[in-house]
Amino acid sequence: MIYENQQLQKICDDLPVKCNKAIDYTKNEFSLMKAGRANSKILDKVMVDYYGTMTPITQMGNVATPEPRMLTITLWDKSAIKATEKAILAANLGLTPSNDGTVIRLIFPELTQERRKDLAKQVKKLGEDCKVAVRNARRDAIEGIKKLLKDKQISEDISSGAEKDVDKVVADFIKSIDVMTAEKEKDIMSV
């Protein structure tokens, strides 16, 4: 999509950027959902009160996945184990930390069928929210094109062509969201 009118070009260039932001956010949310397997990303938002400074766990030690359903956290400063356990419990991850004095272990429980269905519903909702964000970006682009047409900065032919281009871009993004959502649902429902 290359147009002579700079404002129209900017509208068409901004659309994929906005859509990609929505998809990136949704991918990040999907990665935080646990499907009965250990995923170190779940700890990304957990902050520990480390000598008066809120510090991410990932900056306080090594996080490893020795088994498919277990995370281990080996802290560089062993005196911070209690504060780290407290932060994990406060983060409401649904996990109970245990330690042997040197390593904190997080064991991910096996998901029940009911919990899998709940997670699948959350995945569908996130997918729909992402589609809404993409459709809002489409609406903004179409309104911008109509404003340019109304202000007589572009012709009706160019306006019509630009709207079709916007619709094609949005349709492609919607398809990729559907694929991404279906893959995550399948991942969650597989035992």
Between residues 48 and 2, which one has the greater pLDDT?
A: 48
What is the predicted pLDDT for the residue at 141?
Answer: 92
Q: Does pLDDT of 113 surpass 90?
A: no
Cα angle, residue 182 at apex, residues 187 and 64 outer, rounded to 5°:
30
Residue indicated by tokens 């802290």: 75
**pLDDT averaged over the chain?**
87
Tell me: pLDDT of 60 over 70. Answer: yes
Coil, strand or helix at 97: strand
Taking a C-beta distance cutoff of 8 angstroms, is the pair 11, 154 a contact? no
Tell me the HSE value of 51 on the side-chain side, using a 13 A CA sphere. 3
Reported as a single tens digit per residue, the pLDDT across 18-45 is 999 999 999 888 877 766 677 777 888 8
Burial class (CB in 10 A: 0-12, 13-18, 19+), 176: middle
Domains and CATH numbers, the chain: 6-32+112-189 (1.10.132.20), 40-107 (3.30.1360.40)
Reduced to 3 states, what is the DSSP secondary structure of residue 108? coil
190 pLDDT higher than 90: no
pTM: 0.70
